[in-house]
């Protein structure tokens, strides 16, 4: 059952749009927990707010799930988040890579969603000013 639900969830994320954010209750429990490097919330409405905000902050956001590991207790999704930010220069597509750890309620809906991704490498190093400093620190600290 988890395998079928996870494939439906992956399809949901692949097709995520400002309009489909309303469909989170089909996949997430009412009291679901969500955490990423910038947010920590409980409940559908706050989770929907995070994803609605994403569509306002970046251009053409898109998730691509590139792998999955599923067992009786939950799943790990390996993903790429592709987006554009005009303020970063030429509006080129940026890619951030990460993993989502999911746990499911008895009804098969997600009740725990924790995203793991490296904010330094995947975000800060791509910023114009901060990125220069971060790349310099990386070179200085590398073995």
Instruction: Tell me the pLDDT tens digit for each residue of 70-109.
Output: 998 899 999 999 988 766 556 678 888 999 999 999 999 9
Domain ranges of the chain: 2-117
HSE (CB half, 13 Å, CA atoms) of 61? 17
Q: Does residue 114 register a pLDDT over 70?
A: yes
Distance of alpha carbon 73 from alpha carbon 111, whole angstroms: 12
Mean pLDDT of the chain: 86
- The structure's pTM equals 0.82
Q: Does residue 3 register a pLDDT over 80?
A: no
At residue 84, the 3 state secondary structure works out as: strand
pLDDT at 35: 97
pLDDT at 143: 65
| Residue 52 pLDDT level (bands cut at 50, 70, 90) | very high
As a CATH number, domain 2-117 is 3.10.450.50
∠ CA 18-19-23, rounded to 5°: 110
pLDDT at 54: 94
Distance of alpha carbon 21 from alpha carbon 53, whole angstroms: 11
């Amino acid at each position: 059952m988890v395998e079928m639900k996870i494939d439906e969830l992956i399809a949901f994320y692949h097709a995520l749009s400002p309009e489909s954010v309303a469909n989170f209750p089909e996949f997430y429990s009412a009291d679901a927990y969500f955490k990423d490097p910038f947010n920590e919330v409980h409940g559908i409405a706050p989770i929907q707010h995070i994803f609605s905000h994403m569509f306002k902050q970046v251009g053409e956001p898109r998730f691509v799930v590139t792998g999955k590991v599923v067992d009786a207790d939950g799943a790990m999704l390996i993903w790429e988040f592709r987006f554009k930010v005009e303020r970063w220069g030429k509006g080129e597509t940026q890619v951030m890579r990460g993993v989502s750890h999911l746990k499911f309620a008895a009804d098969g809906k997600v009740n725990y969603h924790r995203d793991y991704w490296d904010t330094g490498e995947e975000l800060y190093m791509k910023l114009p000013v901060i990125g220069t400093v971060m790349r310099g620190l990386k070179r200085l600290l590398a073995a």
